[in-house]
Structure 1
Amino acid sequence: MALGRLSQALLKSSLTQSRRQLSATAEQGHDASKLWKRLTYFVALPAVAVCMLNMYLKMQHHAAHYERPEFIPYSHLRIRTKRFPWGDGSKSLFHNREMNPLPGGYEGDE
């Protein structure tokens, strides 16, 4: 009996301490959530915008100097054993007519 009372007393005291810690953590968590919200809006989102601008400018610079390579019909490239289930069946899902040649060559060069 004494052991049961002792274990109950220890359990109650540990529960009381954990409640106090949780309430203190909740107050600190509210401050932490404000910090992360501010970091998101004032650091992360502007950093993403700067990276997007950087990549856009690099793409513009690259596009100005880009020359499409000559089409060489290698037999091991662009093998079509089965038609694609979309469109006319010969173009991949993310086909770009200026960059990706078909098995017979680039579109518009015929």
Structure 2
Amino acid sequence: MVSFGRISQALLRSSMIQTRQLSASAAHSHGEQTARTWKILSFVVALPGVAVCMLNMYLKMQQHAAHHVEPEFVPYSHLRIRSKRFPWGDGNKSLFHNPEVNALPDGYEGREE
């Protein structure tokens, strides 16, 4: 009876070791498969999705620019106050000045109204 117990324990240990080795290799294989799946999804779904969104915004911007009418300049006294000159350029334009969108205190640049 004692020998039967020792044999069964030895068989049980060997089966546990084999099970651990099999599960470890299966987990490793699963990780590789998951990484491959996400890589494929990134290239097949995410990048084309970003490209479609960029194309959509570009076309909407072109459509908006075709119909854009600039509002007339009204020299309100409370807007575009320059109590101190800016330390760059001519001192009248902000750091991120855009001549097509931002007006100066006396009107838009390059246009006589």
**TM-score for the superposition, normalised by structure 2:** 0.66
1:12 maps to what in 2?
none
Does residue 1:96 correspond to 2:86, yes or no?
A: no
Q: Which has the higher contact order (CA 8 A, sep 6+)?
A: 1
Unaligned runs of 5+ in 2: 1-16
RMSD over aligned CA atoms reads 2.6
Q: Percent identity?
A: 67
- Mapped to 1, the partners of 2:27 and 2:78 lie a distance apart of 63
The structure with the larger Rg is: 2
Output the amino acid matched with 1:61. Q
Unaligned runs of 5+ in 1: 1-15
2:107 maps to what in 1?
105
- Aligned-pair distance for 1:43? 0.6
- Mapped to 2, the partners of 1:83 and 1:73 lie a distance apart of 19
Does residue 1:73 correspond to 2:75, yes or no?
A: yes
Pairing partner for 1:45 from 44, 47, 55: 47
